[in-house]
Structure 1
């Protein structure tokens, strides 16, 4: 396993509190994140210690919230067999910033360009989602 660090951001025409609310609406994440569904499996989903499971194209990613600081940041610890590491979902001004530090399999350099393209596309969808979030 090697380590991959990823940081991407998107500008959002919405106030920080709205961006934060949209990014932490786990049940609706499938509306903007390609091929992903998220469910809260332990806790409230809005507190340290809560656990989430994201399934992206069949890959299960169990996460524990390690920091909950509205409307600024949510940090997670990835607990899965395939996805391990840490992630931060942050609001900086009027931007949504997605950062991950992951242990990745040996083949990740081959799929990285497609993974990043999908993530960039999803972040653009997130901006539209957050701008109209209710």
Structure 2
């Protein structure tokens, strides 16, 4: 049957909550900040009920993660149900506004892994968290840059 493993990471973002939300839900651009991942909207408009597919890997070797958006509360939180053959469970993110131009971005996963993969989770977890943190730090930088360039146009 497997077991559920959890991961959570949060980063401060020097940008408005609205900018953070817009960047996080621009599914097609997630590959710009999520390490080795491309995301596609398969069905729907990218909001509640939409189906997404994320391929993580290099070249043709990797994992396809299909998911459905089951909670969509702009500009605060999004939750997905992972529906793939390998990646199952749930995940999501939350944008916590901390000021007019500051927010905290929290990403979490609760994945049901097959028993064979679950045994390796204690070894894989540090690398997973490192990649997630690095991705979210890139995300925070891109949000800051987007907001900075928008301010320069005003």
Larger proportion of helix? 2
What is the distance in 2 between the residues matched to 1:4 and 1:129?
A: 29
List gaps (5 residues or longer) in structure 2: 98-102
Shift, 1:18, TM fit: 0.5
- Which of these residues, 128, 132, 151, is aligned with residue 119 of structure 1? 132
Match of 1:56 in 2: 56
Match of 2:143 in 1: 130
TM-score (norm 2): 0.83
Shift, 1:131, TM fit: 1.3
SS across alignment from 2:133? helix
List gaps (5 residues or longer) in structure 1: none
Match of 1:103 in 2: 112
Match of 2:5 in 1: 4
Shift, 1:59, TM fit: 0.5
Encode CA deviations 1:112-134: one digit per residue, 9 max, x unaligned: 11111111111100100111237
Match of 2:25 in 1: 24
Aligned structure 1 segments of 4 or more residues deviating by more than 2 angstroms: none
TM-score (norm 1): 0.95
User: What's the Cα RMSD here?
Assistant: 1.1
